[in-house]
């Protein structure tokens, strides 16, 4: 995960009358205790072309979570940071709650673009540091501290880094792993899953091969080669591996 600079301009579809009507309809349903299901959200609105296009542009055509390129994956999927239909604080059976953050289904700040796998793995999982701070009833997210970092709002590099091609929690001065990062990496997104690990290993190996017969020390060579190869650019797949690498002081 890397920090994403999201466009301040909200795509026109999300400001349309159709979206206002949908929000009013959802609020009305909740007020009347009617259950809200997936079918009650309009994908042609939250997943409209202008929304998808802006998300992809802002994210340099990469998954907001795992950084794989979305260009060969049909442009990825519109992903709601806070789940719109149901949420779970844990993966345990029966942990699902509804309604979830239905009023944020068409909210630009709640939208990201992700690959299918990240979307599937995260699914409705959205734990908080303090579950007692969840206040769906009043549509109040002011007190929430989500475990998952929204890369448009916080820099994931504050709590996680790469060690070679593995994503790892940063450690404090005592050598303890950051617990929040642990949960994101191992549970919510599974960022070291086999397919991803293999993809990153190949990128990493190709990079290391370029440095092979050098006389310069590894750190210096690393920095030179990253710069030379243009690997520190935001649109590079897995750029975090080069710019947020524990073993190099970039
Ligand atoms: Zn992904």
- Residue 54 alpha carbon to ligand 1 centre in Å: 18
Residue 145 tokens read as 């501290």
Q: Which residue, chain included where needed, has tokens 């091969």? A: 209
pLDDT of res. 5: 95
Closest by Cα among 109, 43, 112, 113 to 71: 113
- Residue 35 alpha carbon to ligand 1 centre in Å: 30
pLDDT of res. 214: 62
What count of other Cβ atoms lies within 10 Å of the Cβ of residue 203?
16
Across 169-175, average pLDDT: 95
- Residue 247 alpha carbon to ligand 1 centre in Å: 24
Q: What is the pLDDT of residues 226-246, one digit of tens each?
A: 888 888 888 888 988 888 887
Residue 227 tokens read as 């710069």
- Residue 76 alpha carbon to ligand 1 centre in Å: 9
Phi, psi torsion values for 140, nearest 5 degrees: -115, 115
Domain spans in the chain, listed from the N-terminal domain onward: 12-138, 159-243
Q: What is the pLDDT of residues 110-149, one digit of tens each?
A: 999 999 999 999 999 999 999 999 999 999 999 999 999 9
Q: Which residue, chain included where needed, has tokens 């404090």? A: 172
In whole angstroms, what is the distance from residue 125 CA to residue 183 CA?
A: 11
pLDDT of res. 216: 67
With pLDDT > 70 as the criterion, what percentage of the chain qualifies? 96
With pLDDT > 90 as the criterion, what percentage of the chain qualifies? 78
Q: What is the pLDDT of residues 10-32, one digit of tens each?
A: 999 999 999 999 999 999 999 99
- Residue 31 alpha carbon to ligand 1 centre in Å: 35
pLDDT of res. 250: 41
Q: For residue 213, what pLDDT band results from cuts at 50, 70 and 90? A: low
Q: For residue 109, what pLDDT band results from cuts at 50, 70 and 90? A: very high
- Residue 121 alpha carbon to ligand 1 centre in Å: 9
pLDDT of res. 206: 86
In whole angstroms, what is the distance from residue 32 CA to residue 46 CA?
A: 24
Cα distance between the two ends of the chain: 17
Q: For residue 67, what pLDDT band results from cuts at 50, 70 and 90? A: very high
- Residue 74 alpha carbon to ligand 1 centre in Å: 13
Phi, psi torsion values for 39, nearest 5 degrees: -70, -15
- Residue 191 alpha carbon to ligand 1 centre in Å: 8
- Residue 172 alpha carbon to ligand 1 centre in Å: 27
- Residue 63 alpha carbon to ligand 1 centre in Å: 5
Instruction: Name the average pLDDT for the chain.
Output: 92
Q: For residue 211, what pLDDT band results from cuts at 50, 70 and 90? A: confident
Asked if 239 and 62 count as a contact pair (C-beta separation under 8 A), the reply is no
Residues with CB under 5 A from ligand 1 (ion): 63, 65-66, 115, 118
Across 47-68, average pLDDT: 96
pLDDT of res. 127: 97
Is the pLDDT confidence value at 33 over 80? Answer: yes
In whole angstroms, what is the distance from residue 124 CA to residue 132 CA?
A: 18
pLDDT of res. 224: 80
């Amino acid at each position: 995960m890397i920090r994403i600079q999201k466009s301040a301009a909200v795509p026109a579809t999300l400001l349309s009358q159709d979206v206002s009507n949908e929000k009013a309809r959802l609020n009305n349903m909740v007020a009347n205790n009617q259950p809200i299901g997936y079918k009650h959200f309009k994908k042609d609105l939250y997943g409209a072309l202008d929304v998808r296009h802006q998300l992809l542009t802002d994210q340099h055509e990469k998954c907001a979570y795992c950084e794989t390129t979305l260009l060969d994956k049909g442009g990825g999927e519109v992903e709601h940071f806070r789940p719109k239909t149901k949420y779970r604080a844990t993966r345990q059976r029966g942990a699902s709650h509804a309604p979830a953050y239905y009023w944020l289904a068409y909210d630009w700040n709640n939208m990201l673009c992700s690959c299918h796998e990240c979307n599937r793995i995260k699914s409705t999982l959205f734990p908080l540091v303090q579950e007692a701070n969840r206040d769906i009833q009043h549509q109040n997210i002011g007190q929430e501290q989500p475990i998952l970092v929204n890369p448009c709002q916080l820099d994931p590099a504050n709590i996680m880094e790469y060690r070679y091609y593995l994503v790892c929690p940063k450690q404090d001065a005592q050598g303890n792993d950051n617990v929040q990062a642990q949960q994101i990496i191992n549970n919510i997104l599974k960022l070291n899953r086999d397919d991803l690990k293999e993809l990153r290993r190949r990128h990493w190996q190709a990079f290391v091969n370029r440095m092979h017969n050098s006389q310069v020390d590894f750190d210096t060579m690393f920095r030179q080669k990253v710069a030379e190869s243009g690997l520190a650019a935001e649109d590079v797949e897995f750029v975090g591996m080069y710019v947020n690498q524990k073993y190099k002081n970039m």
